Amino acid sequence: MMNTTLAQRVCSVLINSHNTKRPLMLASWHAMRARISLVDFVLDVRDARLPLSSQCDILDTSFTSRRIILFNKLDLALPLPSLSKEWMAHFQSQNFATCGVNSHNKHSIQQLLNFLQGQVRSLRKTDPERNTITMMLCGVPNVGKSALANALHQIGRISAAEKGKLKHAVVSPFPGETKSISSLKVIHDRADHMAQEFQIASHPSIYILDTPGLLPPKMTDCNVYAKLALTGAIEDSLVGEKLLAQLFLSILNLSNEHQKWKKQSTLELAPLVKDDKTDNLVSNKTRKDDSSTDHTKDSVVLSVRSRLAEAISSFKGNLQEEEDMMRLIEVEFLSLREAFNVYTGSDEEIDYKVAVKLLNLYRTGRLGQYILDSL
């Protein structure tokens, strides 16, 4: 459940910044509309935490056939497997093919590749001469389109005859880093055109087209935009890290997640980056130095969980009341200064540092897994 007042504050901050980018968004929308009619499949990539809010609205009116909905970041929506399955069943009842995936897990990506190849085989039953298949990735910013494309490429090239010749997409943790559509000329059976595509399979050849993340040109639902901002689809600086952290705390305070933290040890904490011997696709280069300021250390995460659980459990106010909710959030921010060992600077600077660390832990699943939309 999301605090309405905080969601409205997020929305009001975003309206001005959103309007300045409107012409660019409209141009991108028109470019993608022109591409959609040229591809065989559209891969509608959504954040598994936001099965509805992260939908790419361009697909609602321009494309319905051969649309596949992919719920990425499934690891951040678990351990709510039954709810995740309910969402997939919901869309399957509307005749959409669906698949959940974790773009950083080799086994999950292999399953996705097998699933996509199965969809291609079904298509070729009606057109057996089709030797080249194209798929376009669509989605909001930072939903993981480029990460999925690279992971599929990495898995697919292992058995591809063209090993070593396939092109990667640029991946960034920041929304909006994919600036254009990628790079390799593909001659389709129907037309000869340039597209930003790279190969993920052969026999038949399957090409993926990576595209920029798109937000709706018009802001119509404050709750949707607040959720998108909280999960990182909108640049934090446009909203303000502290406001986003307050929004997360309002969700945590109204959930039961903190009750699981009262008796936890480091053995119960999932590692942020798995060892290379596991099936994780994250490189060793992403590991951070172990230091007293590293907020991802298990001991720090445990302290954060413990302090938040204590603050929520001991709070006597009514969290349905706006004033009481903000009073608890203020207490939590003060407590998190100690958990994160942040003391230097003005109050504003300290709150900013606390907010950045808290948002990172939330977005990497260290403070629980959440599905923010309701079925």
Q: How far is it, in rounded angstroms, from Cα 215 to Cα 176?
A: 10
Q: What is the pLDDT of residue 211?
A: 83
State the average pLDDT over residues 230-252: 95
Neighbouring C-beta atoms of residue 59, cutoff 10 Å: 18
State the average pLDDT over residues 206-217: 83
Got the DSSP string for 25-76?
A: HHHHHHHHHHHHTT-SEEEEEEETT-TTTT--THHHHH--TTEEEEEE-HHH
Asked if residue 316 has pLDDT above 80, the reply is yes
Q: pLDDT-derived band of residue 346, with 50, 70 and 90 as boundaries? A: very high
State the average pLDDT over residues 57-63: 63
Write phi, then psi, for 207 (nearest 5 degrees): -115, 140
Highest mean pLDDT among 15-19, 144-148, 171-175, 304-308: 304-308
Residue type, 234: I
Q: Which of 125-129, 135-139, 341-345, 355-359 shows the lowest mean pLDDT across its residues? A: 125-129
Q: pLDDT-derived band of residue 56, with 50, 70 and 90 as boundaries? A: confident
The pLDDT tens digits of the residues spanning 117-143 come to 999 999 888 888 888 899 999 999 999
What are the CB-based long-range contacts (under 8 Å, 24+) for 20-28? 22/217, 25/214, 25/215, 25/217, 26/217, 28/212, 28/214
Write phi, then psi, for 271 (nearest 5 degrees): -65, 145
State the average pLDDT over residues 153-161: 72
Asked if residue 268 has pLDDT above 60, the reply is no
Q: What is the pLDDT of residue 283?
A: 43
Q: pLDDT-derived band of residue 265, with 50, 70 and 90 as boundaries? A: low
| Tokens standing for residue 191 | 């037309």
Among left, alpha and beta (phi > 0; psi -120 to 50; other), residue 113 is alpha
Q: What is the pLDDT of residue 258?
A: 92
Q: What share of the chain is helix, strand, coil (3-state, %, to 5)?
A: 45, 10, 40
Q: How far is it, in rounded angstroms, from Cα 275 to Cα 296?
A: 16
Q: What is the pLDDT of residue 294?
A: 86
Neighbouring C-beta atoms of residue 306, cutoff 10 Å: 17
| Tokens standing for residue 17 | 């910044």
Asked if residue 144 has pLDDT above 60, the reply is yes
- Evaluate whether 359 touches 236 at the Cβ level (below 8 Å): yes
DSSP state of 4: H
Q: How far is it, in rounded angstroms, from Cα 335 to Cα 310?
A: 10
Q: What is the pLDDT of residue 193?
A: 34
Nearest to 149 by CA among 171, 134, 164, 131: 171
Angle 347-363/322-339 helices, nearest 10 degrees? Answer: 90
Q: How far is it, in rounded angstroms, from Cα 190 to Cα 176?
A: 31
Write phi, then psi, for 135 (nearest 5 degrees): -130, 135
Q: How far is it, in rounded angstroms, from Cα 295 to Cα 281?
A: 22
State the average pLDDT over residues 278-303: 64
Asked if residue 71 has pLDDT above 50, the reply is yes
- Evaluate whether 142 touches 215 at the Cβ level (below 8 Å): no
Q: What is the pLDDT of residue 162?
A: 47
Q: pLDDT-derived band of residue 156, with 50, 70 and 90 as boundaries? A: confident
Q: Are strands 197-201 and 205-209 parallel, antiparallel or unpaired?
A: antiparallel
The greatest distance separating any two alpha carbons of the chain, rounded to the nearest whole angstrom, comes to: 69
- Evaluate whether 194 touches 185 at the Cβ level (below 8 Å): yes
Q: Which of 122-136, 275-289, 290-304 shows the lowest mean pLDDT across its residues? A: 275-289
Among all chains, which residue has been given the structure tokens 């194209």? 134
State the average pLDDT over residues 260-273: 61
What does the mean pLDDT of the chain come to? 80
Q: How far is it, in rounded angstroms, from Cα 66 to Cα 97?
A: 8
